[in-house]
Amino acid sequence: MLRRLAGSLLFRLIVLVVVVVVTTQVVTVYIAAGERHKLMDKQLYAQVVDTLAFLEGSMDNMSPAQRTAFLASYNRPGLPRLLPQESAPRQQFDKELPRVADSLVSRLSKGLGDTVHGYMVHREDRNELWVNVHVLDTPYWLVIPFGRYSDRPIYSLIQAALLATVLAILLASVVAWRITRPISKVVMASRELAGGKLPSPLAEDGPRELIALARGFNHMASALDNAARERRLMLAGLSHDLRTPLTRLKLMLELQDSSPDTPDMLADIDELSRIVRQFIDFARAEESARLEPVALAELADSVVARFGRSGLDVHLDRLAEPELYVDALALERLLSNLLENARRYGKPPIRVEVASQDNMAMLSVIDHGAGIPAALRESALAPFERLAEHRGTDGGSGLGLAIVSRVVKQHHGQLRFVDEADGGFRVCILLPLTTAAATA
């Protein structure tokens, strides 16, 4: 299931959207964080320079005592302060500076033309950046409150980016699903068409390309259905028309005086009649199944008895008594074709087996001939396909296994070829026992 999902167009579109959206948001957050730091650096540097200019201007003509009194009234908690140089020994400095503080110290060193050092002081309620500066040629400590300057990630921006990413992915997933849904419908309709069932016409709406795809598929399905209908009519009509002159020829031969060639001519006419009958069966196999309750063992017993009366050495093993909801005539044609193939190409003893396993009814025909080579088993199911060693020499039409395969597909079953351990060859038909319930 996961492998199928990973290989779907919808999954790949969603992955593409996720990659594009996440990449865009990551780049946006990175650029925004960089711009934020640049703006903080610029504002903080301007604030420090303005503060120093104000202090120098205010204390320019003051005596040392006046400067001390001025600073005592100027310095307030939570605002920039200018402290005497001797205040440093009482502080615990941290030389590890945040990015914003380190950038400010570097800019101050360049702007003031003097080596400036900065240290962080961590207090219980706030953080402070202590920078050594000279004001009117006197060394001071400029203390900058650093509580509101955070170097941590921009959580609000990241949360907004995550929310935008989730919403964009959800919206894009819905759009991708709506885009791929018509394609999925085309895939399902093509499977129905491949299974021999004409699907309902697809809705021709949506983007221009999908409209063209749906319109083309509907036209193709209609054309194939018309071609199949014409082929069925042609095969059925031609086969029906051939049966009348063949019957007339056989009657004329039987009424004429016997000759050495009469038995061979009658056998050829019977062979032609059988081929015509197979054409009719092949045409009917394309028709919709007429389902009814059927006891598989009873149906097999009837067909085996008919072949037994015609001289075929065949035996029925009733290992189970499965009840199915199937097309009885189609199933009779299936078993008749398998027995006819066993008569022509197999060797006795021939055995028909009815069993059940894993919620499936199993109908098998076993003979002891050479069977079908593994390399040719798939092609042997195609219409008018005959094995090379029998081509043109057995009087067959190449429709026997094609009819069998079509009937099996109509009933959602499985067709298997099995080489038996004792040298025999088994053609096994598996039909679901739940066909009745599912159809009902």
Kindly state the average pLDDT of the residues 32-48. Answer: 81
Tell me: do 25 and 135 sit in the same domain. Answer: yes
- Give 124 or 213, the one with higher predicted confidence: 213
Tell me: do 336 and 389 sit in the same domain. Answer: yes
In this structure, what token pair is assigned to residue 308? 């037994």
Tell me: do 140 and 254 sit in the same domain. Answer: no
Tell me: do 278 and 339 sit in the same domain. Answer: no
pTM of the model: 0.46
Among residues 260, 287, 314, the one where a domain terminates is 287
Residue 156 lies in a domain: no
Mean pLDDT of the chain: 79
Q: Is the pLDDT of residue 330 over 80?
A: yes
Please give the pLDDT value at position 317. 92
> Count of CB atoms within 10 A of residue 61's CB?
8
Kindly state the average pLDDT of the residues 417-424. Answer: 84
Q: Is the pLDDT of residue 407 over 70?
A: yes
Please give the pLDDT value at position 284. 60
Sign of CA dihedral 289, 291, 297, 303: negative
Please give the pLDDT value at position 302. 92
Q: What is the CATH number of the domain that holds 316?
A: 3.30.565.10
Residue 178 lies in a domain: no
Among residues 233, 257, 287, the one where a domain terminates is 287
Number of H helices, E strands in the chain: 11, 11
Q: What's the pLDDT band for 364 if we cut at 50, 70, 90?
A: very high
What's the pLDDT tens digit per position in 88-97?
A: 777 778 778 8
Cβ atoms of 351 and 314 closer than 8 Å? yes
On the question of a cis peptide bond just before residue 349, with omega within 30 degrees of 0, the verdict is yes
Q: Is the pLDDT of residue 395 over 80?
A: no
Burial call 309-337: b when 16+ CB within 10 Å, e when fewer: eeeeebebeeeeebebbbbbebbbbbbbb
Please give the pLDDT value at position 440. 38
Residue 151 lies in a domain: no
Please give the pLDDT value at position 435. 47
Total number of domains constituting the chain: 3
Tell me: do 108 and 204 sit in the same domain. Answer: no
Kindly state the average pLDDT of the residues 265-270. Answer: 72
Among residues 287, 319, 349, the one where a domain terminates is 287
Tell me: do 314 and 431 sit in the same domain. Answer: yes
Report d(CA 350, CA 346) in Å as an integer: 8
Residue 167 lies in a domain: no
- State what percent of residues in the chain have pLDDT above 70: 81
What's the pLDDT tens digit per position in 237-267?
A: 666 666 677 777 777 777 777 777 777 777 7
Tell me: do 15 and 110 sit in the same domain. Answer: yes
Tell me: do 262 and 327 sit in the same domain. Answer: no
Residue 378 lies in a domain: yes
What's the pLDDT tens digit per position in 131-143?
A: 888 888 888 888 8
Tell me: do 264 and 310 sit in the same domain. Answer: no
Q: Which residue matches tokens 């299974």? A: 195
CA distances from residue 19 to 113, 159, 163, 169, 174 in whole angstroms, order as listed: 48, 18, 15, 10, 16
Contacts of 364 (CB under 8 A, 6+ apart): 352, 353, 355, 426, 427, 428, 429
Kindly state the average pLDDT of the residues 127-152. Answer: 78
What's the pLDDT tens digit per position in 161-177?
A: 788 888 888 888 887 78
What's the pLDDT tens digit per position in 51-86?
A: 888 888 888 888 888 888 888 888 887 788 888 888
Q: What is the CATH number of the domain that holds 69?
A: 3.30.450
Sign of CA dihedral 145, 147, 151, 157: negative
Tell me: do 273 and 369 sit in the same domain. Answer: no
- Give 188 or 251, the one with higher predicted confidence: 188
Residue 191 lies in a domain: no
Please give the pLDDT value at position 391. 41
Residue 174 lies in a domain: no
Residue 39: name the closest of 103, 95, 132 by CA: 103
Q: What's the pLDDT band for 304 if we cut at 50, 70, 90?
A: very high
Tell me: do 275 and 316 sit in the same domain. Answer: no
In this structure, what token pair is assigned to residue 406? 């079509």
DSSP one-letter code for 260: T
Please give the pLDDT value at position 439. 41
Contacts of 289 (CB under 8 A, 6+ apart): 326, 327, 330, 410, 411
Kindly state the average pLDDT of the residues 190-218. Answer: 81
Kindly state the average pLDDT of the residues 141-147. Answer: 82
Residue 251 lies in a domain: yes
What's the pLDDT tens digit per position in 340-356?
A: 888 888 888 899 999 99
Tell me: do 369 and 413 sit in the same domain. Answer: yes
Kindly state the average pLDDT of the residues 225-232. Answer: 72
In this structure, what token pair is assigned to residue 125? 């309620």
Residue 401: name the closest of 432, 366, 372 by CA: 372
Please give the pLDDT value at position 353. 93
Report d(CA 414, CA 417) in Å as an integer: 10
Report d(CA 193, CA 185) in Å as an integer: 12
- The range of the structural domain enclosing residue 293 comes to 288-439
